[in-house]
């Protein structure tokens, strides 16, 4: 029987990790774990309860009485309620990086992520999957693209979802999040030494997908021989 792999996909905001990871999970019949949605769900609850996102103890209190689940069909459930759309709103996107800096919050969410991936056959996307969450992942891909390319894709995405924004706002928000995510003390956004860099600035979605499939297939064949 073939060994089912653990695949880590890291990269900056709006690099297309989610779209890629979802398609790869479909192709390989693996589970998809969107770790960013866990940080987003917690942020959403904090914003709704008007909790200060800089107050780690208050965030931990929320986590202690909160359930965050990722369903097989890609939905995020917060205390059993589907919040998949709400967690993509600007009110959450603009605050989530502040929530994600807290060590105790990360420790708890990383624990959940490792638990979900423990049986293999999983694709996780985030910022620290290859470096911290699953340093022994079978495949590590670092997916990136220029801020301009990512901004244009995110702006299109927003238009499709009916979220009001301008390209300038979106690019500024991405650049700020890149800065916070990559300079934080704990588990910063960073390419793992053994990750394969995939720069999609000049690639279409199908081209990026093809490149990733080849990377994963290559490792799969090596592992199963
Ligand atoms: O991938 P995303 O944009 O949905 O992630 C939202 C935020 O969560 C991002 O700004 C940083 C944080 N995050 C993180 O710190 N570690 C992860 N593994 C995933 C996301």
For the CA of 87, the closest atom of ligand 1 is: 4
Q: Is residue 138 in a domain?
A: yes
Q: How sure is the predictor about 223, in pLDDT bands with cuts at 50, 70 and 90?
A: confident
Q: Is residue 144 in a domain?
A: yes
DSSP for 21-68, written as a single string: HHHHHHHHT-EEEEHHHHHHHHHHHHHHTT--TT-HHHHHHHHHT--E
Ligand 1 pocket test: pick from 7, 37, 100 the residue with the most ligand atoms within 8 Å of its Cβ: 100
> What would the pLDDT profile of 68-121 be if each residue is shown by its tens digit?
999 988 899 999 999 999 998 889 988 999 999 999 999 999 999 999 999 899
Let me know: does 13 contact 178? Beta carbons within 8 Å: yes
For ligand 1, whether the C-beta of 177 sits within 6 Å is yes
Compute the half-sphere exposure of residue 100: CA atoms within 13 Å on the CB side of its CA: 28
Q: How many domains does the chain have?
A: 1
For the CA of 18, the closest atom of ligand 1 is: 1
Q: What's the pLDDT at 158? A: 87
Q: Is residue 201 in a domain?
A: yes
Compute the half-sphere exposure of residue 81: CA atoms within 13 Å on the CB side of its CA: 10
> What would the pLDDT profile of 141-178 be if each residue is shown by its tens digit?
999 999 999 999 999 988 998 888 899 999 999 999 89
SS (H, E, C) 107-142: HHHHHHHHHHHCCCCEEEEECCHHHHHCCCCCEEEE
DSSP state of 20: H
Q: Is residue 216 in a domain?
A: yes
Where residue 93 sits, what CATH number does that domain have? 3.40.50.300
Q: Is the model's pLDDT at 225 over the cut of 80?
A: no
Q: How sure is the predictor about 3, in pLDDT bands with cuts at 50, 70 and 90?
A: low
For ligand 1, whether the C-beta of 181 sits within 6 Å is yes
Task: Say which residue, 73 or 10, is predicted with more confidence.
Answer: 10
Outline where DSSP puts E strands in 139-205: 139-144, 196-199
For ligand 1, whether the C-beta of 39 sits within 6 Å is yes
For ligand 1, whether the C-beta of 11 sits within 6 Å is no
Q: Which domain holds residue 216?
A: 6-223
Rounded distance from Cα 81 to ligand 1 centre (Å): 21
Taking the whole predicted model, whether its pTM rises above 0.75 is answered as: yes
Residue 1 CB coordination number (10 Å): 4
Rounded to whole angstroms, the Cα distance separating 188 from 191 reads 10
Q: Is residue 91 in a domain?
A: yes
Q: Looking up tokens 């022994």, which residue turns up?
A: 136
For ligand 1, whether the C-beta of 184 sits within 6 Å is no
CA-CA-CA-CA dihedral for 36, 39, 40, 41, to nearest 10: 120
For the CA of 177, the closest atom of ligand 1 is: 10
Q: Is residue 24 in a domain?
A: yes
Q: Is residue 1 in a domain?
A: no
Q: Indicate which residue's Cα is closest to atom 14 of ligand 1.
A: 127
DSSP state of 186: S
Rounded to whole angstroms, the Cα distance separating 222 from 141 reads 17
State the burial class of residue 197 (Cβ atoms within 10 Å of its Cβ: 0-12, 13-18, 19+). exposed
Report residue 79 as tokens. 């205390």
Report residue 119 as tokens. 């049986």
Q: Is residue 163 in a domain?
A: yes
Q: How sure is the predictor about 125, in pLDDT bands with cuts at 50, 70 and 90?
A: very high
Using alpha carbons, select from 141, 149, 146, 125 the residue that is nearest to residue 197: 141
Residue-averaged pLDDT of the chain: 94
């Amino acid at each position: 029987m073939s060994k089912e792999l653990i695949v880590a996909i890291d990269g900056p905001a709006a690099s297309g990790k989610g779209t890629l990871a979802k398609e790869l999970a479909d192709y390989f019949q693996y589970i998809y774990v969107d770790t960013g949605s866990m940080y987003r769900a917690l942020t959403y609850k904090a914003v709704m309860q008007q909790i200060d996102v800089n107050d780690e103890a208050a965030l931990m209190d929320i986590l202690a009485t909160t359930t965050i689940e990722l369903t097989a069909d890609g939905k995020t459930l917060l205390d059993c309620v589907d919040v998949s759309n709400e967690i993509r709103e600007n009110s959450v996107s603009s605050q989530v990086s502040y929530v994600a800096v807290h060590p105790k919050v990360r420790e708890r969410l990383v624990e959940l992520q490792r638990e979900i991936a423990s049986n293999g056959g999983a694709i996780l996307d985030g910022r620290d999957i290859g470096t911290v969450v699953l340093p022994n992942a079978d495949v590590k891909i670092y997916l990136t693209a220029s801020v301009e390319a990512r901004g244009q894709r995110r702006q299109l995405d927003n238009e499709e979802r009916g979220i009001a924004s301008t390209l300038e706002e979106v690019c500024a928000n991405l650049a700020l999040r890149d800065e916070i995510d990559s300079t934080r003390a704990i588990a910063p956004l960073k390419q793992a030494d053994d990750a394969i860099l995939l720069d999609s600035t000049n690639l279409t979605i199908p081209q990026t997908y093809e490149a990733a499939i080849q990377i994963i297939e290559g490792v799969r064949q090596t592992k199963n021989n």
